[in-house]
Structure 1
Amino acid sequence: MELRELLTRMNADGVLYPNTDLHQAMNDVSNEARRLSAKLNTSVYTNEEIREQMSQITEQELDGDFSLFLPFTTDFGKNIKIGKNVFINSGCRFQDQGGITLGDQSLIGHNVVMATINHDYDPTKRGTMHLAPIILKERTWIGSNSTILPGVTVGENSVVAAGSVVTKDVEPNTIVGGNPAKFISNLEDKIK
């Protein structure tokens, strides 16, 4: 199955059933992503070389201001969209089958997990995967060791405090934190 068709169907359907052609095609892309991630993480590279390898993983040309500190892993890679002047710190893990969008000037802290898959609650259908995108709007800051769950949009300029688990959308210009993440304050209250 061609990648474009795979992405179109995954994004439209939002469900992957086990033992189907769609599931096998996703696995084939995942195998390549894991191989490319392993290659990325097993040597020392210049910033330009890292950008080139991330461009290969995501099949997207990244701007010269993109910065990534290794290690980094993704288990699909082809459903990540990266804006301009994005920084991803070391230890991040992206599960992007449902789609991950990083808006311009986003900052991603150490060890952030972005998970776009939930398994079915029915134990007899646990192999079924439900996909939902994660969207970070422009100028978001995701603190270290945070987890962003499927279907979450983080509004522009917002901050997710370190160690948070984000289970629902974050309003623009706010700070959230905790497990589950809750409103802490408006951003304007912190800007002096």
Structure 2
Amino acid sequence: MNDIFSKDLSCETVSPDEPGYEALINGTFHTMETAQELAAVSVRDQKRVHGLMDVFLGKELPGSTTMLPPLYIDYGKPVSIGERCFIQQCCTFFGRGGIEIGNDVFIGPKVNLIIINHDADPDNRSATYGRRIVIEGNAWIGISTTVLPGVRIGYGAIVGTGSVVKKDVEPMTVVAGNPV
């Protein structure tokens, strides 16, 4: 059987009752603590921002990408961010099951990328599962948008401010609304 980290990345259901769940939560807490450090860094100090991002991503954030803290994130290792991206402040990334951000993506302030969901069965509600979010290159996600689990936003698409995106967005389209 897969360990809990592999299950989580494979978007299988994980439960607090499983072996290894404590390690998963401790990894989440470590990421959140590093994100708190990031919140105290000046936006002008992109070298320090990148250094802290590298810690919780577990890989190097491209030097051409600009990240404006704070960033609220639960687990960074399954998150990949492309070249020349611009990520505004106060975004929330629930990244446990994977977030893939392509090159040249603009993400507005207060954007929520939420990949985690809970079991619908009330007796198992504490169990969670993820669905990867993919944002293809040259997409633009407007201020205060929420992207829900399993959504793919196509190349060059624009998602208008305040949208709730619950289904895939076709490449080179403009969408807005609640829900999209």
TM-score normalised by length of structure 2: 0.93
Could you tell me which residue of structure 2 aligns to residue 53 of structure 1? 52
**How far 1:31 moved relative to its partner?**
1.1
Larger strand proportion, structure 1 or 2?
A: 1
For the structure 1 residues 141 and 13, does the alpha-carbon distance in structure 2 shift closer, same or farther, using more than 3 Å as the test?
Answer: closer
Mean Cα deviation higher: 52-61 or 10-19: 10-19
Could you tell me which residue of structure 2 aligns to residue 129 of structure 1? 128
Could you tell me which residue of structure 2 aligns to residue 96 of structure 1? 95
For the structure 1 residues 6 and 83, does the alpha-carbon distance in structure 2 shift closer, same or farther, using more than 3 Å as the test?
Answer: farther
Could you tell me which residue of structure 2 aligns to residue 167 of structure 1? 166
**How far 1:6 moved relative to its partner?**
5.1
Cα RMSD, aligned residues only? 1.3
The unaligned stretches of length 5 or more in structure 1 are: 182-192
Could you tell me which residue of structure 2 aligns to residue 184 of structure 1? none
How many residues end up aligned between the 2 structures?
177
2:42 alignment partner, one of 41, 44, 48: 44
Does structure 2 retain, via aligned residues, the 8 Å contact 1:161–1:178?
Answer: yes
Q: How many angstroms apart in 2 are the aligned matches of 1:126 and 1:51?
A: 36
Does structure 2 retain, via aligned residues, the 8 Å contact 1:15–1:129?
Answer: yes
**How far 1:163 moved relative to its partner?**
0.2
Q: How many angstroms apart in 2 are the aligned matches of 1:6 and 1:85?
A: 33
**How far 1:147 moved relative to its partner?**
0.2
For the structure 1 residues 6 and 125, does the alpha-carbon distance in structure 2 shift closer, same or farther, using more than 3 Å as the test?
Answer: closer
Could you tell me which residue of structure 2 aligns to residue 78 of structure 1? 77
- Helix, strand or coil for the counterpart of 2:176? strand
Does structure 2 retain, via aligned residues, the 8 Å contact 1:7–1:79?
Answer: no
TM-score normalised by length of structure 1: 0.88
**How far 1:12 moved relative to its partner?**
2.3
- Helix, strand or coil for the counterpart of 1:114? strand
The unaligned stretches of length 5 or more in structure 2 are: none
Could you tell me which residue of structure 1 aligns to residue 31 of structure 2? 33
